[in-house]
Amino acid sequence: MTPEERVLSTLQRVRDERIIMILRSETADDAERAVEAAIAGGITLIEITYSVPGAAELIARLSRRHGDAVCIGAGTVLDAAQVDEAADAGARFAVSPATVDEVVAASLRRGLLPLPGVMTPSEALRAVRAGAPAVKLFPARSFGPAFVRDLLAPLPDLVIVPSGGVDVQQVGEWLGAGAAAVGLGGRLSPSRVAPGEERGITERAAAALAAVNDHPRHV
């Protein structure tokens, strides 16, 4: 599979599954327990942010364990070196809080789907012109689902993934407004995972997935 084909394959998976779990745990062990609990609840798109200690090693470990059954990405990616490290570890996508041209270029070169962060139409257009097939609306809590609809009016081909403050109860609203997928962190993936809390994560993951699946896909 060529790098371009890998990027398009991952993009299709994001559009099909429509929910990305975002990990910002304080330790790699907490992150790993949260990931396994979310996978048990049916979520298979996982973003491991570089704020997690040992993020690359965790990506590699999860990628080896689950193979293609789980699609692991790197988050808070700020430079090309992190893209290469994540790609070597088995990541399939690279998420940034802003549009960093070298991250987009390196991701495309390595076959990772870039998801650069944007806040305005100008930033979204810049990201697309840099080669990004999709963008991350961040922080989504500063806007609302109506913003996605307004952004798609002049840019109907834009693939938008809201992230940062998206609540499970709002998933249907974001998708209804035209979002291709949503990124969920917060209570779905707490920074610390207390003993026995895995079951709660699994239940919340299943509820989030049900909310997504209850909403019709955009054609």
User: What amino acid positions are annotated as catalytic residues?
Assistant: 47, 136
180's CB contacts (< 8 A; 6+ apart) are 14, 15, 18, 134, 159, 160, 161, 218
Would you say how long the chain is, in residues?
Answer: 219
**3-state SS class at 20:** strand
Check if the beta carbon of residue 183 is closer than 8 Å to that of residue 47. Answer: yes
One-letter amino acid at 29 equals D
Q: How far apart are CA 110 and CA 83, in angstroms?
A: 8
Place of tokens 């998420």: 95
Q: How far apart are CA 49 and CA 78, in angstroms?
A: 11
Q: How far apart are CA 139 and CA 119, in angstroms?
A: 8
Q: How far apart are CA 199 and CA 177, in angstroms?
A: 31
Handedness of CA 25, 28, 30, 33 (dihedral sign): positive
Half-sphere exposure of 11 (CA within 13 A, CB side): 21
